[in-house]
Amino acid sequence: MYEYLKSLHLIFVITWFAGLFYIVRLFVYQIEANKMPSPEKEILQKQYKIMTYRLWYIITWPSSILAVIFAISLLYINPAFLEMRWMQVKLGFVALLFLYHYKCHLIYTDLQNDKVNYTSNFMRLWNEGATIILFAVVFLVILKNAINWIFGVVGIILFSVIIMLGFKFYKRIREKKGE
């Protein structure tokens, strides 16, 4: 039974992350569509609202809930995991993932109500948040021992810096093409 629950947990974690990755990309498109002339703006906004609604409520939210249900089931079956330091750190990253998910929900709600509070460049950068959390959790789960996951987390921080530099480089290229 444990292996089935673990498999289901992993499947729904994957679909949850897929939803988070794609929803923010849709936010980018929706924000950029907001700057387009009529009637293109209205047509695209309507389509993006439908797409984000379906992604958010049919895939992302249910996946997050099911991932948590199966995680709690796994911890119930084997509560000793809660005493392991790597699991405690992992649960900290899961808490960050929930904060990220909640912030995405707030952004989703604003965009559904035609409130644009962020730039498309901010959203491109925001999109990397889930990637960083994913890397941290995978390192923690696979490496488990303290020294290895510390190196993994340091690697995540370095990876984040590389992403930021890559983002700035990409932004410069986009700005030059726009000139």
Q: How many alpha carbons fall within 13 Å on the CB side of residue 115?
A: 7
105 is in an annotated binding site: no
Write the pLDDT tens digit of every residue in 64-115. Answer: 999 999 999 999 999 998 888 888 888 999 999 999 999 999 999 999 999 9
Residue 90 is labelled as binding a ligand: yes
119-151: pLDDT as tens digits: 998 998 899 889 889 988 887 888 776 556 667
In the chain, the N- to C-terminal Cα span, in Å, equals 60
Cis peptide before 79 (omega within 30 of 0): no
